[in-house]
Amino acid sequence: MQTSPSPVLAHHQRTAHRPGRLSGGRRLNWSNRPRADKRYRGVEPIALPTAWSESEVPAVAVLSGEVPPADAVDDLAGLARLLFFADGVVRRRRLNGLTLHFRAVPSAGALYPVEAYVVCADLDGLPAGVYHFDPVRFCLQPLRQGDWRAHLAEASADPQAAAARVTVALTGVPWRTTWKYGERGYRHLFWDAGAIAANLLEVSAATGLSARLVTGFADRLVADLLAVTPGQAPAQGGEMPLALVPVGMAADPPPAADPPPTTAPVEDHPSAQESLEEVILRRGSTRRFATQPVPTSTLQWPLAVAAGHVPGDVAPPGRTHLTRLVAVHAVDGYDQGAYAGSDERLVALHDRVSRQQTAELCLGQPLGGDAAHTTFFAADLDRLLGAAGDRAYRVAQLEAGVAAERLQLAAFAAGGGATGLTFFDDEVRSFFGTSDWPMLTVAAGIPAYRARPGRRPTHR
């Protein structure tokens, strides 16, 4: 007897893009466009320092996993660095009378539906407490006094949450993205949270800090601590916990089954000695690709970085929930074609690939075909949900967000560029001959222009 799909899988199927029917497509009402930042009334903000010690290790080494663990977050300046390069405002632009604040991570439509909170012990310059991070004014808004780390440890059953000096809690505000993308916008919450988590993991590693992504926790306990209301209607400001990122604790031993990726052989490129902070400031969604071929390393190394172990409870060492489905257009050493793999090693599927066809898979967006290679991160949702329940959907989407951001950082560190894209769900599955569901897409290659780097923080 045929059984009905789980509510979560039914939601995923219902929000699939199909030719002639884009999920969530609607006429926008600009008069109720959501704010992309959160302000508290009657709360005196704490300005964050704008000067700190930055890492000296090249980004290619950090992304290759070569930085040994070291210390803990012990002062306000160190916390400010983490928050800025994870989700700070790096560019400002006026458009149609609005000031758009572009952050250190990508977000579809620049809607930024994820909020960040800090739960910390006493730091030099900041007393223990619960704080909300305001990236636009670059400040903390105090919510609770005292050390609440034990509360997080109880909520997550993760002892590291109590040992870490700082935990960054990420929440999603559905209305900010469903306003434009309808019900499909719920996917964007996890994509954006995964990107912020990836930056937190890598920026921490750049100065020897240990960090981990925690997805298993009691939502209500975390929501109560942060004073958010996950059950409230999205248009009324509902907000839901998505992930916890403890930073600065005893380091996990390196997973023996998951060796770090080989360092990208880009020694002759000007980006080879850039720090991770410099790469984050320079990166931004590439808007035009040159169609020239790229070296083999600019495919293999970014895929290896994206396939790296995510510290925390996402998956055991050496395991991943994701398959990489890659349309290769112009990569030295690779025939044009469709490939698949769970790490940087790719298996050829077929050669029926053209730039136009890949662009059509990406909702007709030329970037998908102009790129040297376009990667679709996919997951076997039927297996995952059957084995671990509906919460596994959150885990798979968050892992896709982490992998996509890592791939983009690696693409920029190797001297290229990248951008995230959306897609026609069933058409991608058919093209690659898989029952896995695409989660997120990244197109990478050589930018056709020189982008202006972002700026370090200022107070507004």
| Size of the chain, expressed as the number of residues it contains | 460
Question: Residue 265 pLDDT more than 80?
Answer: no
For residue 257, what pLDDT is reported?
A: 45
Query: HEC profile for the chain?
Result: CCCCCCHHHHHHHHCCCECCECCCCCCCCHHHCCCCCCCCCCCCCEECCCCCCCCCCEHHHHHCCCCCCCCCCCEHHHHHHHHHHHHCEEEEEEECCEEEEEECCCCHHHCCCEEEEEEECCEECECCEEEEEECCCCEEEEEEECCCHHHHHHHHCCCHHHHCCEEEEEEECHHHHHHHHHHHHHHHHHHHHHHHHHHHHHHHHHCCCCECEECCCCHHHHHHHHCCCCCCCHHHCCCEEEEEEEECCCCCCCCCCCCCCCCCCCCCCHHHHCEHHHHHHHCCCCCCEECCCECCHHHHHHHHHHCCCCCECCCCCCCCCEEEEEEECCECCCCCEEEEECCCCCEEEECCCCHHHHHHHCCCCHHHHHCCEEEEEEECHHHHHHHHCCHHHHHHHHHHHHHHHHHHHHHHHCCCEEEEECCCHHHHHHHHCCCCEEEEEEEEEEECCCCCCCCCCCCC
Question: What CA–CA distances, in Å, run from 444 to 190, 276, 293?
Answer: 21, 18, 11
Tens of pLDDT, residues 218-229: 999 999 999 998
For residue 96, what pLDDT is reported?
A: 73
For residue 370, what pLDDT is reported?
A: 97
For residue 70, what pLDDT is reported?
A: 65
Query: What ranges do the domains of the chain cover?
Result: 32-247, 270-447
Question: Residue 95 pLDDT more than 90?
Answer: no
Report which residue type is found at 82.
L
Residue bearing the bigger pLDDT, 310 or 66: 310
Residue bearing the bigger pLDDT, 31 or 112: 112
Tens of pLDDT, residues 163-198: 899 999 999 999 999 999 999 999 999 999 999 999
Pick the CATH number of 32-247 from 3.40.109.10, 3.30.60.50, 2.40.50.140, 3.40.1640.10: 3.40.109.10
Question: Residue 147 pLDDT more than 90?
Answer: yes
Question: Residue 266 pLDDT more than 90?
Answer: no
What number is the average pLDDT over the span 51-77?
84
Tokens in use for 180?
């434009």
Q: What is the pLDDT confidence band of residue 230, given thresholds at 50, 70 and 90? A: confident
Tens of pLDDT, residues 122-141: 999 999 999 999 999 999 99
**Cα angle, residue 326 at apex, residues 65 and 427 outer, rounded to 5°:** 140
What number is the average pLDDT over the span 246-266?
58
Q: Which residues of 78-106 are buried (b: 16+ CB within 10 A; e: fewer)?
A: bbbbbbbbbbbbbbeeeeeeeeebbbbbb
Q: What is the pLDDT confidence band of residue 256, given thresholds at 50, 70 and 90? A: very low
Q: Which of 64-68, 75-79, 100-104 has the lowest mean pLDDT?
A: 64-68
Class of domain 270-447: alpha beta
Question: Residue 371 pLDDT more than 50?
Answer: yes
Question: Residue 1 pLDDT more than 80?
Answer: no
Torsion-angle region of residue 365: left (phi > 0), alpha (psi -120 to 50) or beta? beta
For residue 253, what pLDDT is reported?
A: 47
For residue 214, what pLDDT is reported?
A: 96
Q: Which of 102, 113, 243, 87 is nearest to 177 (CA)?
A: 113
Q: Give the Cα separation of 243 and 191 in Å (integer).
A: 12
For residue 27, what pLDDT is reported?
A: 76
Are 73 and 79 in contact by the 8 Å Cβ rule? The answer is yes
For residue 413, what pLDDT is reported?
A: 94
| Topology agreement, domain 32-247 and domain 270-447 | yes
Question: Residue 142 pLDDT more than 70?
Answer: yes
Q: What percent of the chain has pLDDT over 90?
A: 72
For residue 261, what pLDDT is reported?
A: 58
Residue bearing the bigger pLDDT, 207 or 442: 442
Tens of pLDDT, residues 418-444: 999 999 999 999 999 999 999 999 999
Q: What percent of the chain has pLDDT over 70?
A: 90
For residue 249, what pLDDT is reported?
A: 64
Tokens 């663990």 belong to: 69
What number is the average pLDDT over the span 340-346?
82
Tens of pLDDT, residues 279-326: 999 998 999 999 999 999 899 999 999 999 999 999 988 889 999 999
